[in-house]
Amino acid sequence: MREIIFDTETTGLDPRTGDRMVEIGCVEMINRIATGRTFHAYFNPGRSMPAEAEAVHGLSEAFLADKPPFAERVAELLEFLADSPLVAHNASFDFGFLDAELGICGHPPVCRSRMIDTVALARVRHPGSKLSLDALCSRYGIDRSHRTLHGALLDAELLAQVYVELCGGRQIGLELVSETVAVFEGPRELLPRERPFRAPRPHSASAEELAAHLAFLNSVDTPIWSN
């Protein structure tokens, strides 16, 4: 199953008041394993960057000045997203900005049936606990020491690890992944011994066995199965 974990950075909190998306980061996962394929882009929002927003993600007007508008990268983004489920933390926020940018370009909004919200998953799994991405990384022992500011691709990569844990960890459904090779580093004498192949024997009873069984049944006095 293919899923896309994504995150956005914006100029503010509400696209309905003119706030715009300035960064998106997407991570592809298949069967809850990151494939290494990503999509990452910065966008010129065509408006000023409030100091409060810049303090969160560090993206200044000067940095974004030579970046393309969302419309120039929308085709690449939609190709990458395809029709896969989309996973985000507090997903309604990211979907709201994604839909707003798509609407400006004349594209329809993303169907909400594709939305998976990791905040909602965490609320069910850890009721009453802190649900921020930082808090969940701490809970699951995910290293975020390199995260000094919010960044869409970095946050999507961290969220991908959190999402796997929220879904049960690496042994989801006890699936075996053929590409994963375990390396044994202990003493050789502890390695499992090779055993010769033995073809499975037939398990149906032979004629002699059936006859012996019938003779035994006939020898039983007042059997309960005859009542």
Give the side-chain half-sphere CA count within 13 A for 124.
7
Of 40, 126, 146, 150, which one is the catalytic site residue? Answer: 150
The tokens for 35 are 């494939």
| Residues in CB range of 68: below 8 A, 6 or more apart | 41, 43, 44
Among 4, 163, 164, 167, smallest CA distance to 83 is for: 4
H helices of the chain, in order, are 51-57, 61-64, 70-81, 91-104, 118-125, 133-140, 152-166, 207-219
Question: Would residue 146 show up in a list of annotated catalytic residues for this protein?
Answer: no
CB–CB of 171/182 below 8 Å?
no
* Nearest-angstrom CA–CA distance, 131 and 120: 9
Among 65, 26, 72, 73, smallest CA distance to 45 is for: 65
What are the catalytic residues?
A: 150
